[in-house]
A and B are shown apart, each in its own frame.
Chain A
Amino acid sequence: MPELKISDLFVTVETEQGTKEILKGVNLTVKSGEIHAIMGPNGSGKSTLAYSIAGHPKYTVTGGSITLDGEDVLEMSVDERARAGLFLAMQYPVEIPGVSVSNFLRTAKTAIDGEAPALRTWIKDVKSAMEGLRMDPAFAERNVNEGFSGGEKKRHEILQMELLKPKFAVLDETDSGLDVDALKIVSEGVNRVHAANNMGVILITHYTRILNYIKPDYVHVFVDGKVAEEGGPELAARLEAEGYDRYAKAN
């Protein structure tokens, strides 16, 4: 069974004040079909974990390993990781002027699959995925993320996930900036892809709100660059009631 395994991961980032260690020994194993919520206060390293899995050049892995079905992910370039089946739904998707959504999606799909998708089924797939996320068809002709509202950007991320069918997806604060209607639509999309492809999910969030719509199998609390506590969904309920304060005190 496919497995994404993160072992004793240490990551630094260059800042104006010099090198800063953000991740300090993260252990996390996600199997196909599992949903893991990663929660924690701001600055605890949640997004750094997401970017490190995807291979963002800003972050340097100084120790530990990430493997996908035993393959060394850290040896792969960013695009190779995506082609191996990893997906990052970004918190701040960037604008790509001059590239239409439809052209972008088709190019990405071709890169992931190694061959161009059959035109007729592809058009049908895109249309139905967009309908599922309640996106206007005119959206496909706009430039990638250019002038998109916050909610449109997040839907567009989930649309890509639905069409590219990754083995594992990391959702980096996909719930931030969404109103309750958009949150429901986006969550339904995640649940749909999860069910259809038996995708493993790492759901990064600051708030428990999205967990009302996407039910995690496991909850990990991130504090100061590593997992401070782990448990089942009941841990999320406890965080909802108590907040992160007690972890801060423990430090």
Chain B
Amino acid sequence: MDQHGLTEHTHSSFVPLQIRSERPKSKSITDFPAIDNRQDLWKYVNLDKLAGLDSDVLSEYTNQVSFQQVSGVGFAWIESTDPRVGSVGIPEDRVAAATYTNASRTLLIEINSDQTEPVFLNISGDSKEASALHILVIAKKHTHATLVLQHQGLGVLGEIVELDVQDEATLNLVSVQNWDAGSTHISAHFAKLGRNANLKHTTASFGGDFVRITPVTTFAGAGAEVEMNGVYFANSGQYIENRPFVDHASPNCKSRVTYKGALSGAKAHTVWIGDVLIRVAAEGTDTYELNRNLLLTDGARADSVPNLEIETGEIQGAGHASASGRFDDEQLFYLEARGIPESEARRLVVLGFLVEILQRTGVDSVIEQMTAVLEKKLEER
């Protein structure tokens, strides 16, 4: 029988492509060599698109950042020499180090009490000057909050986002990349979860020529949970890369990584590298990572590589799945044979596939606005 659509495989064996844990870390750009495609971290990247974010000197991105003061949340620009800065994560690549070196001030967002409404941070650029932005979010013990980073306009942005999710805290972090054409955005996220902390982390990347996000979650205390979600849509000429990494360094923690993307048009290119490391101490770990890509036209390319390193056998479960499939003629025929016109059929399939990830954020304005963006992107080729 003819089977169409996605196929996938699932297993839980060791994939020794690289040892994720041993990557060098430094705050200083001089500790990283010039970027080239032979480096595993940058092997898929068109170096011309880095747009200067790997250079020694970057401008500072501060005026383009705006927020509304809300009770229970502190916003402050602090010196990046403050000991709290860098306490969650240290750069692991040259662009992040350039960002760290050049952002002399860091935006500190302290969540001091429960927030019933989402807190929005608008990052809205208007130039192609390579710039650096460093954000540190501290979700204090026992607090609950949703924070949305909204990137839009024109920008060439190197960004670091540190998320310190303290014991028993719950943070829902959403990063929306809705840049104009011509933008480049390279962002390193570092999350550290305390005991019984809970992080939901979502990236939604739709606009910009080049968007690369490397979110790292480290379990610093037992019993914590992370859900890392991502959704992306690349049209012709767009490059979107996601490299989530979960570092199971503590026992009895749970991680779920789910990224879904669609590609439409020649030279649309997406890359997903999903790393999970289960260290010796991380007994009782429960982890699963999944990436699915939907190719809507010929000429698009989706790279998808899940890596799992397991250093202890005393775990609950570990698995991964990766699948890239075409929206093929048979699927189209099936829907059309039920009276659904072609454009509507495509819309149905793509929205059904991607909006589910947006819905997980629970942020109505993001779901509505990004669904509208998706509908528009579906019209493009």
Contact = CB atoms under 8 A, between A and B. Distances in A.
A92 B338 contact: no
Given A93-B334, A94-B331, A97-B325, A103 B341 contact: no
Contacts of B335: 96, 104, 108
Interface stretch (B192-200, B212-220, B275-283, B342-350): B342-350
Contact of A111 (B3, B4, B338): B338
Given A79-B342, A92-B1, A94-B330, A99 B336 contact: no
B352 A94 contact: no
Interface stretch (A14-22, A82-90, A183-191, A203-211): A82-90
B335 to A, nearest CB: 7
Nearest to B6: A97
Contact of B5 (A87, A88, A96): A96
Contacts of B342: 79
Contact of B344 (A81, A107, A143): A107
Interface in A30-64: 54-57
A108 B340 contact: yes
B348 A103 contact: yes
A112 B336 CA distance: 11
A95 interface: yes
A77 B332 CA distance: 12
B333 A82 contact: no
Contacts of B348: 99, 103-104, 107
A90 B341 contact: no
Contacts of A82: 336-339
A79 B333 CA distance: 9
A78 B356 CA distance: 29
Chain B: number of interface residues, binned into ranges:
20 to 34
Nearest to A85: B339
A95 B333 contact: no
B329 interface: yes
A79 B2 contact: no
A164 interface: yes
A65 interface: no
A111 B352 contact: no
A100 interface: yes
B260 to A, nearest CB: 8
A174 interface: no
Contacts of B339: 79, 82-83, 108, 111-112, 164
B338 A160 contact: yes
B32 interface: no
A70 interface: no
B353 interface: yes
Interface in B1-55: 1-6
A92 B2 contact: yes
B239 to A, nearest CB: 23
A95 B334 CA distance: 9
A100 B352 contact: yes
Interface string A129-161: 000000000000001001000000000000010
Interface string B274-309: 000000000000000000101000000000000000
A154 to B, nearest CB: 13
A82 B334 CA distance: 11
Contacts of A96: 5, 331, 334-335, 349, 352
Given A57-B333, A94-B330, A99 B352 contact: yes
Contacts of A92: 1-2
Interface of B: 1-6, 292, 294, 325, 329-331, 333-342, 344, 348-350, 352-354, 356
Interface of A: 54-57, 77-79, 81-83, 87-88, 90, 92-100, 103-104, 107-108, 111-112, 143, 146, 160, 164
12 contacts: A57-B333, A79-B337, A79-B342, A82-B337, A90-B334, A94-B334, A97-B5, A97-B325, A103-B348, A111-B339, A146-B5, A160-B338
Given A96-B352, A97-B325, 20 more contacts: A57-B329, A57-B333, A77-B336, A79-B339, A81-B337, A82-B338, A94-B4, A94-B334, A95-B3, A95-B4, A96-B331, A97-B352, A98-B353, A98-B356, A99-B348, A99-B349, A104-B338, A108-B338, A111-B338, A146-B5
